[in-house]
Structure 1
Amino acid sequence: LMERYFSRWASETGLGVQTLVELGHTPGEPPDSPFNMAVMGMRLSWFRNGVSRSHGETSRAMFGRLWPGLPTAEVPIGHVTNGVHPGTWLAPEMSELFVERLGHDTATGGTDWSGAGLITDHELRDACDTARATLVEVARQRLRSGALDAGRSPSELAWTDQALDPSTTTICFARRMATHKRAALLLEQPDRLRELLLDGSRPVQFVFAGKAHTDDDEGKEMVRRLVAFASEPALRHRFVFLADYDMALARAMVQGADVWLNTPMHPLEASGTSGMKAALNGALNLSVLDGWWAEAFDAGSGPNGVPNGWAIAAPAAGTQPGSRDQARLDSNTLFELIENQVLPLAAEERRHRDSTGGDDRSSPWWNRVRHSLATLGPVVDAHRMSAAYDSDMYRPAAALSRALAAQDNSGARALSEFLGHIRADWDSLRVAAVDVDERDGDLGSRRRVVASVEPGRMRPGEIEVQLLVGHIGAGGELEEPTVTPMSPHGSPEPDRDGIVRYEGDAVLSVPGRMGLTVRAVPRHELLSTPLEPGLVAWAD
């Protein structure tokens, strides 16, 4: 297949079809293995990233075999967490509040969100009440039109005029109905959900929406289960599934939700953005600690001790994604959070509204919303994302491209020759010995480290010798080591024994057991990182 469709392109680039095929294989794979587009993309890119911190970690573990000499943590795949465009998703009422209180139009990328703390309970309540009422009206219209399209008579649809309540705490879930999104997690305990919905002492309602891919049978089954549950006459005024999910409906839901629900299988959520859109509109996130929420949830670590949402903890290491046991555990955690934290806080807000009128900033619910806006606003803004891509990837890549193309592509030819040389001769390099000043030292003190390096066929200036210092983990590995270049001790040319000595200082920067090691990596001004070729010589 590759020969059929890519032989001409391979010939024009001078690669040859076999070399092209190898670009899509990981080291050690048989020649007839399927061609992997992601692997080819990794091999041909200067910069690579996941779309959240956890996605970057997962990607480094998945593709680490392309850089077999590196610890997983140093595989050259970074991350830029996704963001959303505030101007597209903000309710008009919230946008006006932000202009007044933040002093800038969030649609243009303001970075200072501290003014969110100045918004009063009354202002937030009015904005969110308006958006929730709009969502209820949209939902009723869609329920009615969907039923009419399905052949129901108007006389059967009087109930749609009473579906949902514009003054009731509203929990929303809307996204692609893929299996790993677990839209039906609440239905793991249907009787418990029915009891919750029918308990008048703690009013709550749910709005679900989404579409499954036409070839995703499991996703379509999730939709079927949700629709069946939402069709029960006793529940349909408090639990609705809205068909024909589109951008207009998505906008109404992220603007009108009080709580945004996200329940993916960990670690299969790359980022997720629907909760970001909802957060900008004053909704509180209730989500599995995966994707963007794993780095954005603060667990109440801020100065006021109020968390910026709620979290379902990630499963223990080694847990199989999608296991029934994990689904039951996460379902139970979800119900406990709703029953014991979300709804009591909502009930307190109703009492607070009745007793104060809401002209101050004392409601626990709105305190949490203010904290959510202040902490998440600058994080979820797509302007932050775009700036990170620009500074961390696009500009460095453009500079490298110009350097490679300069003087009739002389830089590209020089880099190609260098890579060919080091790949052929790297095994001749050896970090033969490391000598460390063993005297006891206090925290913050330094120890001299001298490494004896046999460069073999590598020339001076073609390698960088690095000192790694860090805390020793349970498995004996260095955890998050600091990496410092070492300098030649004397001449960079080998002595009569073929050795060049490098020296550096190990700083005892953290308490506890510390360790160090030395390694050599390639050095060339046109490498995006010394780790790019995946060639490392570790100390014996």
Structure 2
Amino acid sequence: MQLIIAGKAHPADRAGQDLIRQWIDFIRHPVARRHVIFLSDYDMSLTEHLVQGSDVWVNTPRRPWEASGTSGMKVLVNGGINLSELDGWWAEAYTPEVGWAIGDGQEHGDDPAWDANEAEQLYNVLENEVVPEFYDRNEQGIPTKWLARMRASMSRLTPQYSAARTVREYTEQHYLPAAIAFHNRSTLGGTVGTNIVHWERALREKWSSLAFGELRISSNSDGHHFEIDVYLDGLDPNSVRVELYADGVNGESPVRQEMNRFDASKSSEPDWATYQVTVTAMRPVADFTPRIVPKHESVNVPLELDLIRWQR
């Protein structure tokens, strides 16, 4: 088994430079010298050779520092198999049939104990899964299980993780919607665009004066009922969205439940409105907080306007 290490540290990345020095010191040991080599000046030209000649592509970033993982994607079409941290593209692509993984898909910061845990995982996977599978040959000397994994990796992942998919999804999800939005705003002499400017100006002028009044909560076995008074200071209620928010748990997305406005506020003041919503009792009441965000059917919030008002 041969381990080929390549990498480059930014001139200001002292920790990365120290790590490379540790690699080189380790490789100089007589036991390691026959099996490990470090290739300096890592760049795209060197990568071109590495992705064509590697049986297994090992990538071990600390979550969440893997920017994407395009080097592992390049290995696919060359028949290499990935063994990587569950981060970047591999967190999406990995299944046991197409390669190997280490980590638990969670973030652990700079915890040395977790680094040691993942190092042990890596050694165990290499020793007990990767190497035995590579050398498990039939009568003709062919590693059938290895080839099956290689074919699964190439056939399932290569079409999905490619520049073609990148261009297609950017076009469908971003470029075309942006072009349509621009067209819609510029038609009729730019009427829609003018309305958006007036909407944003009104929000910015009034935003600091928006306030929450009394929050009333009642609960039963079916759910939690939230009701709150909101001071809008003369702002059009249709220009904002009052919602109940809770952070996501167990890897799930945050809860963003829109609250419904009463036709007539319980408050006697004209600039007040009352909002209500009922949510399931699966989460405790303390998890939820009302908040106000901008609302406009032609504006991407919060990308284009990131105002937000929390109930305190």
TM-score range, shorter chain: 0.7 to 0.9
2:102 is equivalent to residue 337 of structure 1: no
Shift of 1:394: 1.9
> What SS is found at the alignment partner of 2:255?
strand
**1:406/1:416 Cα in 2 relative to 1: closer, same or farther (>3 Å)?**
same
2:310 is equivalent to residue 538 of structure 1: yes
> What SS is found at the alignment partner of 2:230?
strand
> What SS is found at the alignment partner of 2:221?
coil
Shift of 1:309: 1.5
Following the alignment from structure 2 to structure 1, what is the Cα–Cα distance between the partners of residues 218 and 303?
Answer: 28
The answer for the alignment partner of 1:529 in structure 2 is 301
Name the amino acid aligned to 1:372.
Answer: S
2:239 is equivalent to residue 462 of structure 1: yes
Q: In 1, are the aligned partners of 2:291 and 2:308 still within 8 Å (CA)?
A: yes
Name the amino acid aligned to 2:293.
Answer: V
Aligned counterpart in structure 1 of residue 258 of structure 2, from 465, 468, 485: 485
Unpaired runs of 5+ residues, structure 1, are 1-203, 301-305
2:59 is equivalent to residue 262 of structure 1: yes
2:279 is equivalent to residue 506 of structure 1: yes
Following the alignment from structure 1 to structure 2, what is the Cα–Cα distance between the partners of residues 481 and 436?
Answer: 20
The answer for the alignment partner of 2:172 in structure 1 is 391
- Which structure features the higher share of helix residues? 1
- Which structure features the higher share of strand residues? 2
> What SS is found at the alignment partner of 1:480?
coil
Shift of 1:495: 6.0
Name the amino acid aligned to 1:334.
Answer: L
Shift of 1:506: 2.6
Shift of 1:449: 4.8
Name the amino acid aligned to 1:388.
Answer: E
**1:437/1:366 Cα in 2 relative to 1: closer, same or farther (>3 Å)?**
farther
Counterparts of 1:138-177 in structure 2, within 5 Å, are: none
- So what's the TM-score if we normalise by structure 2? 0.75
2:292 is equivalent to residue 520 of structure 1: yes
Shift of 1:528: 1.0
> What SS is found at the alignment partner of 2:237?
coil
The answer for the alignment partner of 1:346 in structure 2 is 134
> What SS is found at the alignment partner of 1:383?
helix
Following the alignment from structure 1 to structure 2, what is the Cα–Cα distance between the partners of residues 229 and 463?
Answer: 60
Q: Deviations along 1:406-447, whole A, 9 cap, x unmatched?
A: 455554444344333322312322332444553322xxxx76
Unpaired runs of 5+ residues, structure 2, are none
> What SS is found at the alignment partner of 2:242?
strand
Shift of 1:522: 1.6
2:199 is equivalent to residue 422 of structure 1: no
Following the alignment from structure 2 to structure 1, what is the Cα–Cα distance between the partners of residues 66 and 302?
Answer: 30
Q: In 2, are the aligned partners of 1:521 and 1:531 still within 8 Å (CA)?
A: no
Following the alignment from structure 1 to structure 2, what is the Cα–Cα distance between the partners of residues 340 and 399?
Answer: 54
Q: In 2, are the aligned partners of 1:434 and 1:539 still within 8 Å (CA)?
A: no
Q: Deviations along 1:288-312, whole A, 9 cap, x unmatched?
A: 33322233334x4xxxxx4632224
Aligned counterpart in structure 1 of residue 100 of structure 2, from 298, 306, 309: 309
Q: In 1, are the aligned partners of 2:227 and 2:274 still within 8 Å (CA)?
A: yes
Shift of 1:208: 3.6
Following the alignment from structure 1 to structure 2, what is the Cα–Cα distance between the partners of residues 311 and 233?
Answer: 28
Name the amino acid aligned to 2:67.
Answer: A
**1:450/1:224 Cα in 2 relative to 1: closer, same or farther (>3 Å)?**
closer
**1:326/1:356 Cα in 2 relative to 1: closer, same or farther (>3 Å)?**
closer
Query: RMSD in angstroms over aligned alpha carbons?
Result: 4.1
Q: In 2, are the aligned partners of 1:308 and 1:375 still within 8 Å (CA)?
A: no
